[in-house]
Chains A and B, each alone.
Chain A
């Protein structure tokens, strides 16, 4: 087993190097045989990465403690599903998963039908191979998941998996996040390949579009599932704690969001070529930077992955890719500036898109600056300050609010040049209704400026999008004479890209609604006797009993609390504390009773011998809308790239011709 594992890693490294060399020489000599050899190697790398990953899963599943990685992250009593997810619980395993995804994306691009006869393919795959080589290097020489204990030192039992990680979130969060992170290599490779080939049109943008949206959707899912996990898993601070590692995955999300908007301007008006290339390069570099943050341990984070000197290697690779990208971009700058379109007026869809980009990048910078500020401050002022939630909330709230406001305007504003009449016709009714919403919220007793403005802007954004759907349906009805339902359905399906984008916007609006609402939470920490009641908001909770049960080797202490809402019985909640046989620290299972209006969130904090128990009880308004909005957002993005006849068509390559492909 050890031999197969080690062999698959080393051979993977060797083949990655071979594939890159054969591509480079093949491109230089325009030799199709070498290119085909490289492609064969890419397929072999994918097969080898699959073998390594499957083998490690098998070793984890069978608790083969001869392997250091298996002994470090599993134990015999661990449920099978968590034995398997231990694949990405540690450094070496997660790097193997990363390499597997990288190899998978590489093979998908190299053997994609749409890439057939495309002279960009060898260039794109070469760029991706640079990453594969780096990851295989780390796996081979720095953090090998198949390292074994010396003979005679094999432990009889493994250390087990941190109970915090024994959660359904652990199954989905890392996988989706990695698919997003690694997926951004693909559009980056397309961008760099187009620069190297001096193919300055929007071909690469069109070809990379699906890849980018897929990566973005996975990144979104990864972040949201992480938030949901944090919300239900105690000690991680609500659903978003602005932890450096959370920030690391949020930053590329922001820049890719900016890119997805600005490429529309390039496709339509041949503008912003340098800007778009820069955005996709920055997005990719931010994924490397994020990985460096996670693996180096230079910042305190709840996601501890730091091990040995691995951060140095990531820093070196990051620096190399920064220099390479900058060099290639600058060397083609003069070509990119040629034939570039211009803005026609101050007020147009393209100018509003670019403003949206600036705000998104401003937000990215704010997150980046806040994340690294402790290090900067220590280096310059000698004080390692904490940059936590209050800072990010203060700085990011106006930025994100401005973004939602722009999101409200962008869909309804005309391309090229918007007239005052256009603006008045499109925005007057939504603006008036939003002001009415403001009045209603104020009448409900909300006096703080921030939620008042936020809810008004959110209502405005929602209304402008509804108006856009109505206008689109009407416009289609005019042409096709279809009834409303058919016109609406066809409008959506035929213009999937456009309306998928609007559905994504609706998702963002719902998320914003949830986030603003959740700030009106109520919290109590109380100690109750059995039979005692507690009132919080419109709930009455009766603490009925404290009991204990056994789950495998673990002991679970749980409280039963009857819940009344507005005088009506609505059932029970049972917050728990779990005591593990193989882990010192107990963990807490929160009881969440979730509705569209609010979440009742109960934590069992502690108890006495006489069964008095201490509970933390929160009523968190509108949190469900964050998860609903996220689902809408992901569905919208998938809808936007849905196949169909048009989806199968391939843009025509018009760049420099090559003999090899």
Chain B
């Protein structure tokens, strides 16, 4: 009998401790805002929380789900099941929607590669031409204070333009 009472007490204490330790969420919680940040909320996501009742309801709903023990992925999964990809503020990262994420960087990569190729061709051509250049020209191109000279030149240029 005593064993049973102790067991029940231990169980009650465990449940109680879990209740005390479990974090409670309200709509001001960072985690709520973070999860809500993924949802389009039927087009209300760009509205202000203070004045948009739809957005307000979503925030409360997310806080409730967190309090019920759902985690972020589960909550987002719930919305996914309800609304599909259209319920979110950004495209999926799979299927055709993946192109939304990838294409800008593919284009940027292709542009950078094209730039590199042009640069390489130009530099190689310059190197060939430069083989016959006198040594002092090469030295000059590596002059220490080239950038400072550049400023000086531009000042002199401006002065020349002004006076002549």
How far apart sit A394 and B84, CA to CA, in the bound complex (Å)? 21
Q: Residue on A with the closest CB to B89?
A: A388
The answer to whether the Cβ of B49 comes within 8 Å of any Cβ in the partner chain is: yes
The answer to whether the Cβ of B68 comes within 8 Å of any Cβ in the partner chain is: no
- B151 and A343: CB pair below 8 A? no
For the A-B complex, the count of residue pairs with Cβ-Cβ distances under 8 Å equals: 199
- B119 and A346: CB pair below 8 A? yes
How far apart sit A581 and B45, CA to CA, in the bound complex (Å)? 29
How far apart sit A291 and B85, CA to CA, in the bound complex (Å)? 29
- A234 and B48: CB pair below 8 A? yes
- B122 and A476: CB pair below 8 A? no
Q: Residue on B with the closest CB to A366?
A: B104
Given contact pairs A417-B141, A475-B152, A381 touches B97 in the complex (Cβ within 8 A) = yes
- B37 and A390: CB pair below 8 A? yes
- B147 and A412: CB pair below 8 A? yes
The answer to whether the Cβ of A88 comes within 8 Å of any Cβ in the partner chain is: no
The answer to whether the Cβ of B73 comes within 8 Å of any Cβ in the partner chain is: no
A415 neighbours in B (Cβ, 8 Å): 146, 150
How far apart sit A76 and B77, CA to CA, in the bound complex (Å)? 52
Contact with A along B82-93 (1 / 0, CB 8 A): 001110111110
B125 neighbours in A (Cβ, 8 Å): 342
Given contact pairs A300-B43, A386-B86, A377 touches B91 in the complex (Cβ within 8 A) = yes
- A422 and B161: CB pair below 8 A? no
- A377 and B155: CB pair below 8 A? no
How far apart sit A390 and B88, CA to CA, in the bound complex (Å)? 10
- B47 and A235: CB pair below 8 A? yes
Contact with A along B35-66 (1 / 0, CB 8 A): 00110100101111111100010010000000
The answer to whether the Cβ of A498 comes within 8 Å of any Cβ in the partner chain is: yes
CB contact between A495 and one of B45, B48, B51, B155 (< 8 Å): that residue: B155
- B147 and A615: CB pair below 8 A? no
- A359 and B108: CB pair below 8 A? yes
Most buried by B among A346, A370, A389, A475: A475
A426 neighbours in B (Cβ, 8 Å): 147
- A387 and B91: CB pair below 8 A? yes
How far apart sit A236 and B47, CA to CA, in the bound complex (Å)? 6
How far apart sit A380 and B100, CA to CA, in the bound complex (Å)? 13
Q: In angstroms, how far is the closest chain B Cβ from the Cβ of A387?
A: 6
CB contact between B155 and one of A235, A354, A425, A479 (< 8 Å): that residue: A479
- B161 and A419: CB pair below 8 A? no
A380 neighbours in B (Cβ, 8 Å): 96
Given contact pairs A236-B46, A373-B100, A399 touches B150 in the complex (Cβ within 8 A) = no
- B111 and A361: CB pair below 8 A? yes
How far apart sit A658 and B51, CA to CA, in the bound complex (Å)? 64
The answer to whether the Cβ of B136 comes within 8 Å of any Cβ in the partner chain is: no
- B159 and A603: CB pair below 8 A? no
A234 neighbours in B (Cβ, 8 Å): 48, 50-51
Q: Which one of A171-179, A522-530, A632-640 contacts B?
A: A522-530
- B155 and A355: CB pair below 8 A? no
A523 neighbours in B (Cβ, 8 Å): 28, 33, 49
Please report which residues of chain A, range 252-303, place their CB below 8 angstroms from some CB of chain B when the two chains form the complex: 300, 302
B112 neighbours in A (Cβ, 8 Å): 355, 358
The answer to whether the Cβ of A344 comes within 8 Å of any Cβ in the partner chain is: yes
The answer to whether the Cβ of B81 comes within 8 Å of any Cβ in the partner chain is: no
B161 neighbours in A (Cβ, 8 Å): 646, 649
The answer to whether the Cβ of A616 comes within 8 Å of any Cβ in the partner chain is: yes
Q: In angstroms, how far is the closest chain B Cβ from the Cβ of A282?
A: 13
The answer to whether the Cβ of B18 comes within 8 Å of any Cβ in the partner chain is: no
How far apart sit A452 and B135, CA to CA, in the bound complex (Å)? 46
Q: In angstroms, how far is the closest chain B Cβ from the Cβ of A484?
A: 15
Given contact pairs A355-B112, A388-B90, A365 touches B50 in the complex (Cβ within 8 A) = no
The answer to whether the Cβ of B75 comes within 8 Å of any Cβ in the partner chain is: no
- A399 and B96: CB pair below 8 A? no
Given contact pairs A343-B122, A377-B96, A491-B155, A385 touches B150 in the complex (Cβ within 8 A) = no
Given contact pairs A351-B119, A373-B91, A419 touches B146 in the complex (Cβ within 8 A) = yes
Q: Residue on A with the closest CB to B59?
A: A525
Q: In angstroms, how far is the closest chain A Cβ from the Cβ of B49?
A: 6
How far apart sit A415 and B105, CA to CA, in the bound complex (Å)? 29
CB contact between B107 and one of A365, A373, A412, A614 (< 8 Å): that residue: A365
Q: Residue on A with the closest CB to B125?
A: A342
Please report which residues of chain A, range 634-661, place their CB below 8 angstroms from some CB of chain B when the two chains form the complex: 645-646, 649
Contact with A along B120-143 (1 / 0, CB 8 A): 101101100000000000000111
- A342 and B122: CB pair below 8 A? yes
A395 neighbours in B (Cβ, 8 Å): 101, 104-105
How far apart sit A615 and B28, CA to CA, in the bound complex (Å)? 12
How far apart sit A299 and B91, CA to CA, in the bound complex (Å)? 16
How far apart sit A645 and B47, CA to CA, in the bound complex (Å)? 52
B90 neighbours in A (Cβ, 8 Å): 386-388, 390-391, 394
Given contact pairs A391-B89, A471-B151, A475-B152, A243 touches B46 in the complex (Cβ within 8 A) = yes
- B51 and A235: CB pair below 8 A? yes
How far apart sit A524 and B152, CA to CA, in the bound complex (Å)? 55
Q: In angstroms, how far is the closest chain A Cβ from the Cβ of B89?
A: 4
Q: Residue on B with the closest CB to A473?
A: B151
- B28 and A343: CB pair below 8 A? no
* Chain B residues close to A by CB (< 8 Å): 27-28, 33, 37-38, 40, 43, 45-52, 56, 59, 84-86, 88-92, 95-97, 100-101, 103-105, 107-108, 111-112, 115, 118-120, 122-123, 125-126, 141-148, 150-152, 154-156, 158-159, 161-162
9 A-B contacts (beta carbon < 8 Å)? A343-B126, A385-B92, A387-B91, A395-B104, A415-B150, A425-B144, A588-B51, A604-B50, A616-B48
Closest 9 CB pairs of A and B: A616-B50, A362-B108, A366-B104, A605-B50, A388-B89, A237-B46, A391-B90, A343-B122, A603-B50
A365-B107, A426-B147 are known; give 20 further A-B pairs, CB within 8 A: A237-B48, A342-B122, A342-B126, A343-B119, A344-B123, A362-B104, A365-B104, A381-B97, A383-B86, A386-B45, A387-B90, A390-B37, A399-B108, A417-B146, A421-B142, A523-B49, A588-B50, A605-B50, A646-B162, A649-B161
